[in-house]
Structure 1
Amino acid sequence: MDTISHVALSLAAAMRRELEVTANNIANANTSGFKSERVVFENYVAAGTAPDGGSDFVIDAGSYVDLRAGALTNTGNPLDVALNGPGWLAYRTEDGRTAYGRDGRFMINGDGNLVTVTGAQVLDEGGGPISVPPDAGAVEIAADGTLSSEAGVALARIGVFDLPSIQSFERLGGGLFVPPQGARSDAVPSLDTSVVQGALEGSNVQPILEMTRLMDIQKAYERATQINRTHDELARDAIRRIGRQS
Structure 2
Amino acid sequence: MDRLIYTAMTGAKHVMEQQSTTANNLANATTTGFRAQLDTFRAVPVIGPGLATRAFVVDATAGADYSQGALQQTGRALDVAIQGKGWLALETPDGSEAYTRHGSLKVNENGILQSQSGLNVVGDSGPITIPPDVSITIAKDGTVSSVEAGFKPGQSTIIGRIKLVNPPEDTMTRGDDTLFRVKTPDGVEADANVTLIGGALEGSNVNVVDAMVNMISLSRQFEMHMSLLKNAETNASKASQLLAF
TM range (shorter): 0.7 to 0.9
Rate the CA distance shift 1:122–1:166 in 2: closer, same or farther, 3 A.
Answer: farther
Tell me the distance in 1 between the aligned counterparts of 2:238 and 2:186.
58
Tell me the distance in 1 between the aligned counterparts of 2:50 and 2:35.
41
Query: Who is 2:84 aligned against?
Result: 85
8 Å Cα contact 1:164/1:186 also seen in 2: no
Rate the CA distance shift 1:227–1:88 in 2: closer, same or farther, 3 A.
Answer: same
- CA drift of 1:96 comes to 4.3
In the TM superposition, 1:122-201 aligns within 5 A as 122-126=121-125, 128-135=126-133, 137-150=134-147, 151-164=155-168, 167-173=171-177, 175-179=178-182, 183-201=184-202
Relative to the length of structure 2, the TM-score reads 0.88
Note if 1:58 corresponds to 2:61: no
Residue-by-residue CA offset, 1:177-211 (whole Å, 9 max, x unaligned): 1345xx51541222332111100011101112111
Rate the CA distance shift 1:210–1:192 in 2: closer, same or farther, 3 A.
Answer: same
Greater mean deviation of Cα atoms: 189-198 or 82-91: 189-198
Query: Who is 1:36 aligned against?
Result: 36
- CA drift of 1:41 comes to 2.0
Residue-by-residue CA offset, 1:130-176 (whole Å, 9 max, x unaligned): 110113x2111111100000151000101101122555423233x31
Task: Specify the SS of the correspondent of 2:117.
Answer: coil
**Aligned residues, how many?**
237
Rate the CA distance shift 1:145–1:35 in 2: closer, same or farther, 3 A.
Answer: same
Tell me the distance in 2 between the aligned counterparts of 1:219 and 1:49.
32
Tell me the distance in 1 between the aligned counterparts of 2:186 and 2:27.
28
8 Å Cα contact 2:172/2:180 also seen in 1: no
- CA drift of 1:228 comes to 0.7
8 Å Cα contact 2:33/2:205 also seen in 1: yes
- CA drift of 1:54 comes to 3.5
Q: Return 5+ residue gaps in structure 1 as ranges.
A: none
Tell me the distance in 2 between the aligned counterparts of 1:46 and 1:58.
10
Q: Return 5+ residue gaps in structure 2 as ranges.
A: 148-154
Task: Specify the SS of the correspondent of 2:118.
Answer: coil
Rate the CA distance shift 1:125–1:166 in 2: closer, same or farther, 3 A.
Answer: farther
- CA drift of 1:94 comes to 4.2
Query: Who is 1:27 aligned against?
Result: 27
8 Å Cα contact 2:171/2:182 also seen in 1: no
Query: Who is 1:210 aligned against?
Result: 211
Task: Specify the SS of the correspondent of 2:44.
Answer: strand
Query: Who is 1:241 aligned against?
Result: 242
Letter in 1 for 2:33: G
Identity fraction in percent: 32
